[in-house]
Amino acid sequence: MRTKIIFRYVGLTLVMVATLMLASAIAAIMMHDKESLIPLLYSAFITFIVGSYPLIFTHTGNHMSKAEGYHVVVFSWLAACIFGMLPYLCFGKEFTVVNSLFESVSGFTTTGASILNDIEAVPAGLLFWRMATSWIGGIGIVAVFSLFVSKSHDDRSALSGSEISSIATDQTTRRGKNVVYMMLIIYTALTMLCTVSLRFTGMGWFDAVTNAMSTCSTCGFCIKNASIAAYDSAASEAILIVFMVISGISFIQIYSLLFTRDRKWAKFEVSGIYLLMMASATLALTVNLWHSGSYDSFLSALRPAAFQVASLTTTTGFATADTNLWPNLGKIILIVCSLICGCSGSTAGGIKVDRLIMVSKNCKREIFRVRRPNVVSSIRMNGSWVSESMIRSVNTFIILYVGILFLGTFINILGGLDIVTASSAAIACMGNVGPGFGDVGSVGNYADFPVLQKCSSMALMLLGRLEIIPILLAFGRWKA
């Protein structure tokens, strides 16, 4: 393992983070915000200096190995989160060391969980910085800078392949930088289109830009204390639902649908099931809210139900209602949505629809093998054959995912949290959803969590965003 190549790419990550801090400082100037300008500029200077050191004194050498790619991804994310807390820490007030790191990790991992009790008291520059961390984290920190700094196709593949799910990249014959280009084009276009659409609903430009960044990254950070409910606009909510749902679909599939001629419906199997799942959950939740008397009519229940299903399924975490007040069946529906979530290749977190489809097909195949053990059968998904190694990888991921959830819940309970708050917080952090139920409901936050539970939640966010395996490979020594 060559540590120099790892340090060099971590340095490049920090230079990119410093650039985002400067962009946030420019936003502060445009919004006439003097309060956060100095913290942002000071943080950008420190981050740039530290990031420049390995660029000057180390060289990449030969091609990067897959193992080195995993280490670059993990340590780049850790460095981004650590230095990303500097603007908050320099600003002070609610931002202690732990709180600053929590907000930074939550942003970069697009979780959207927050420790802020009064978001509207935070100056515009820092609010933009929160959104900038979530936007770059949505597409992938390492994947973006690999486009511009690595001259080697092998290096690009090692970097982007370590950060982007293999299930997503298997959906296309393109590799390396082409996959990232495809995703970045769709991601940027969606953000711009969402911004313009929100502006037409009457939002100011700053509100429209920040909400669009948060929506397309499926983060859920908002510049209002009451989240999207503060706007009380059916038009804004409808637009956000559309863009949240689209952001939960594989960007590779969206690109294929728009720019290629290969549009066979079999290739969009996962996306179809994802949309059907969301429609079914919305209908079930609407009926439950109406039948329980939470809302007077079916139509009045449909609006909050559709928004919350879209918000939690895509792991965005925006809120237009206090879901703690909803009936238990409605809460269960939303928890299931928080576990399954969107498609691989999107900005959504969670287990992903692709994996659950693959597991269900594999279960059906194994049951069939009991009756006819000599028959050789394979699994098809999105019109392509799925390799046995991919199936084993998916099974391993789900087992690890569930096991880590139980561990996270147990740690939360040790801190004195009730079972509802403990379990839903673990699910929300691991799935990069943000809000859960109990004390961390749609109108609550993580401010009152003990330090140990905040640290545990940050670990869950990173494990969920990087999909477990890279972190285990980076920090563990594994033998066959």
pLDDT tens track for 87-119: 999 998 889 999 999 999 999 999 999 999 999
263 exposure class (CB count in 10 Å sphere: 0-12, 13-18, 19+): exposed
State pLDDT tens for residues 179-222.
Answer: 777 888 889 999 999 999 999 998 999 999 999 999 999 998 99
Q: Are 191 and 213 in contact (CB under 8 A)?
A: yes
Residues 6+ apart with CB under 8 A from 119: 127, 222, 223, 224, 225
* 42-51, 81-90, 245-254: segment of lowest average pLDDT: 245-254
Start-to-end Cα distance in the chain: 19
Single-letter residue type at 352: K
Q: How far apart are CA 255 and CA 342, in angstroms?
A: 17
447 or 170, higher pLDDT = 447
**Which of 81, 91, 82, 94 minimizes the C-alpha distance to 447?**
94
288 to each of 57, 296, 308, how far by Cα in Å?
Answer: 62, 12, 14
DSSP string, 394-415: HHHHHHHHHHHHHHHHHHHHHT
Q: How far apart are CA 157 and CA 72, in angstroms?
A: 13
Q: SS3 of 223, please?
A: coil
Joined tokens for residue 202: 């009457």
Distance of CA 360 to the CA centre of its chain: 24
Single-letter residue type at 185: I
What DSSP state is assigned to residue 122?
A: S
96 exposure class (CB count in 10 Å sphere: 0-12, 13-18, 19+): middle
Residue 261 has pLDDT above 80, yes or no: no
Q: Are 362 and 379 in contact (CB under 8 A)?
A: yes
Residue 286 has pLDDT above 90, yes or no: yes
State pLDDT tens for residues 159-168.
Answer: 555 556 666 5
Calculate mean pLDDT across residues 48-72.
77
* pLDDT value for 159: 58
Q: SS3 of 247, please?
A: helix
Phi, psi of 271 (to 5 degrees): -60, -40
Q: Report strand pairing: 379-381 vs 384-386.
A: antiparallel
Reported for 407-415, long-range contacts at CB under 8 A and 24+ positions apart, including other chains, are 408/456, 408/457, 408/459, 408/460, 411/452, 411/453, 411/456, 412/453, 412/456, 414/452, 415/449, 415/450, 415/452, 415/453
Phi, psi of 381 (to 5 degrees): -145, 135
| pLDDT confidence bin for 469, thresholds 50/70/90 | confident
279 to each of 43, 154, 313, 363, how far by Cα in Å?
Answer: 44, 41, 11, 25
State pLDDT tens for residues 353-373.
Answer: 989 999 998 888 888 888 777
378 or 348, higher pLDDT = 348
Q: Are 467 and 347 in contact (CB under 8 A)?
A: no
Residue 473 has pLDDT above 90, yes or no: no
* pLDDT value for 221: 92
313 or 140, higher pLDDT = 313
376 or 139, higher pLDDT = 139
* pLDDT value for 367: 86
Mean pLDDT rounded to a whole number for the chain: 87
Q: Rg of the Cα trace of the chain?
A: 22
Q: How far apart are CA 218 and CA 216, in angstroms?
A: 5
CA torsion sign, 202 to 279 to 131 to 15? negative
* pLDDT value for 364: 87
State the virtual CA torsion across 459, 460, 463, 465 in degrees, nearest 10.
Answer: -110
Residues in the chain, overall count: 480
Calculate mean pLDDT across residues 300-327.
94
* pLDDT value for 480: 46
Provide the residue ranges of all domains of the chain, joining segments of one domain with +.
1-163
169 to each of 180, 184, 284, 357, 467, how far by Cα in Å?
Answer: 10, 14, 33, 17, 15
Residue 234 has pLDDT above 90, yes or no: yes
Calculate mean pLDDT across residues 436-462.
92
Residue 421 has pLDDT above 70, yes or no: yes
228 or 259, higher pLDDT = 228
